[in-house]
Structure 1
Amino acid sequence: MLKTETPSPRHTELDQYSVLDLVAAFVDDQFQAVQAVRDAAPRIAAAIAMAVPRVEAGGRLIYVGAGTSGRLGVLDSVELYPTFSWPTERAQALLAGGMGAMFQAVEGAEDDREQGGRDLLALAPTPNDVVFLLAASGGTPYVLGALHAARGAGALTIGIANNDHAPVALQAEVGITLDTGVEVISGSTRLKAGTSQKIVLNTISSALMVRLHKVYGNLMVDLKPTNAKLVRRAVRLTMHATGADEAAARRTLEQCRFHVKVAIVALLRQATVEQAETLLEQAKGSVRAALAL
């Protein structure tokens, strides 16, 4: 039996727990998710190293999964635009059963291996694309179909599973096994198995964005200010990075359509917005390198 399906020997009387004990059982079990990701760090680092040159060459990030795993992939993909100005067309997500399955389960969709392959091929994958294949069990047919289609197209495949010897990890170019063990509620991989997958996706996509110069120091300087909160954040980030007062930061941001990178370089180099944009282009988007030119 898969570890993720095996009943926990620690919580055989779970339905008899007090509310406080229930909270403790669920929360304490989540620490194993963090440890599982720590244990997989070398494989996660290998995935990032292999993905960087592909996305630098124009590749996309493509997420494939079913159920909870698929929804986590959708979540990671849609958050990249407001956080890092990553183009939406370069972050695609495939969910077994279609996007409607984000809100309501589509019975049997995850068992359709051929549909997984068709959906992946419909995106016209290229060797520069990076495809994340997510399956807690590690054997979801829809995901395996997409995996084989991606490999056939030469894309980088990163398989993420929560069971040892899982096909999705073994058959991908980079396999990441997150050994989270048994769940408090047997088989409910929306618990710590899902948590571990969320951590891994956050880690990989964020690390890629750092390598693509969308972070200066530890500041998210390539965000897309699509609402009032993000506009205020852009002002604060610019002030923090440059020491400018709010008026100067906002004035410069308004001149460059609230592109934090440009505002930082303009203020620190005492340059015009146009000059700052040129410096950033020469530095391939790196604020640090632009400041050194």
Structure 2
Amino acid sequence: MSFIKVTEQDSNYNHLEKMSVKELITNINNEDKTVPLAVEKSLPQIELLIEQIILKLRNGGRLFYIGAGTSGRLGILDASECPPTYGVSHKLVVGLIAGGDIAIRKSVEDAEDSITQGWKDLQKHNINEQDVVVGIAASGTTPYVISALETCNENNIITGCITCNANSPLSNASKYPIEVTVGPEFVTGSSRMKAGTAQKLVLNMITTTTMIQLGHVKGNKMVDMQLSNNKLVNRGVRMVMNEINVSEEKAKKLIDKFGSVRVAVKNYTNGNQ
């Protein structure tokens, strides 16, 4: 089957500059509504990749996201939120972007064309067979990402991808591809829109499901979250109150003493107050 890059096809709308604000946001919203349905069609692919990630992380491995531009930034965003949300090491889920950290804020457009730098960036983290590498590229044609995954395959490292074009070179370079075909963007080629939204939804699924399976959620609560600000401390206090049926004052003392919802509950239950 031939490869057609639908993310670059003409928008279903024209003369955008003649639309009113209401027309613009209504049409953008109508397009956005199609994204979750596209993700739903990819759930079997998403499940296969997540199962591999869980297996590797349970055995001491790590998850790497690698991408360029918007895709790279989304991977970094997802990775950066795992430590505060689930109390895991910042080394467990790592996001890499073409062009390095400066590209998080400023575009480094030519960086994505390198066919060697992706693997070099992974090597800086001592990438090995215990790990999983997920390439993120809406187009499915980013050399920085594809070449990194190809070298991972050569080194027996499990690879996956999140792309918004079916049968792309990136999919072919991935052992566990995820293809969420969202169609043309509202502004032609602006893949930070529907494609970016689709990628974010999939990334949410990957890390949330993985962290739940690894035991970092009890009931529906983030019992290992870092209590790094007043909002989170107050949330932790409420969680302790509900879990072991103690007063707010007692819950605060437990949180202050043990610094963790899980540890506070465990120690109280074991009689260590």
TM interval, short-chain normalised: over 0.9
Residue 212 of structure 2 aligns to a residue whose secondary structure is: helix
Q: 2:65 — aligned with what?
A: 63
Q: Cα distance, 1:52 vs. partner?
A: 0.9
Question: 1:131: how far off?
Answer: 1.1
AA of the residue aligned to 1:7: D
Q: How does 1:196-207 map to 2 (within 5 A)?
A: 196-207=198-209
Q: 1:271 matched to which residue of 2?
A: 271
Asked if residue 104 in structure 1 is aligned to residue 106 in structure 2, the reply is yes
| Cα drift, residue 178 of structure 1 | 0.4
When residues 112 and 253 of structure 1 are mapped into structure 2, their CA distance, relative to the original with a 3 A threshold, is same
Q: Is the 8 A contact 2:237 2:251 kept in 1?
A: yes
The change in CA–CA distance for 1:153 and 1:227 in structure 2 (over 3 A counts) is farther
**Paired position in structure 2 for 1:285:** none
- Find out whether 1:6 has 2:22 as its counterpart: no
Partners of 1:121 and 1:63 in 2: CA distance: 13
SS in 2 for 1:216: coil
Structure 1 residue 238 and structure 2 residue 247: aligned?
A: no
2:253 to 242, 251, 264: 251
1:46-61 matched pairs, under 5 angstroms: 46-61=48-63
Shift of 1:37: 1.1
- Which letter maps to 2:120? R
Q: Partner residue of 1:262? A: 263
Equivalent residue, structure 1, for 2:120: 118
Instruction: Report the CA distance between 1:149 and its aligned residue.
Output: 2.4
Q: Which has the higher helix share?
A: 1
Q: CA deviation at 1:270?
A: 5.0
Q: Deviations over 1:125-180 (max 9, x none)?
A: 11221211000000100001211222233222111110010121222110000010
Instruction: Determine the C-alpha separation between the residues in 1 that align with 2:227 and 2:241.
Output: 16
TM-score by length of 1: 0.89
Unaligned runs of 5+ in 2: none
Distance (Å, rounded) in 2 between the aligned partners of 1:3 and 1:245 = 57
User: For the residues of structure 2 that align with 1:237 and 1:169, how far apart are their CA atoms?
Assistant: 42
1:238 and 1:166 mapped to 2: Cα distance? 48
Alignment of 1:131-142 (within 5 A): 131-142=133-144
CA contact (8 A) 2:224 2:260 kept: yes
Which residue identity lines up with residue 163 of structure 1 in the other structure?
A: N
Counterpart CA distance in 1 for 2:154 and 2:243 is: 45
Offset at 1:70? 0.3
Q: TM-score, normalised by structure 2?
A: 0.95
**1:232-262 CA-partner distances (Å, limit 9, x unpaired):** 1211222222322211111122221x21112
**Residue identity matched to 1:6:** Q
Runs of 4+ in 1 over 6 A off after TM superposition: none
Number of residue-to-residue matches in the alignment: 270
Q: Where do 5+ consecutive residues of structure 1 fail to align? A: 274-293
Give distance in 2, aligned partners of 1:54 and 1:34.
28
SS of equivalent residue, structure 1 residue 88: coil
Deviations 1:44-67 (A, max 9, x none): 111111111210111111110000
Give yes or no for contact 1:162–1:180 (8 Å, CA) kept in 2. yes
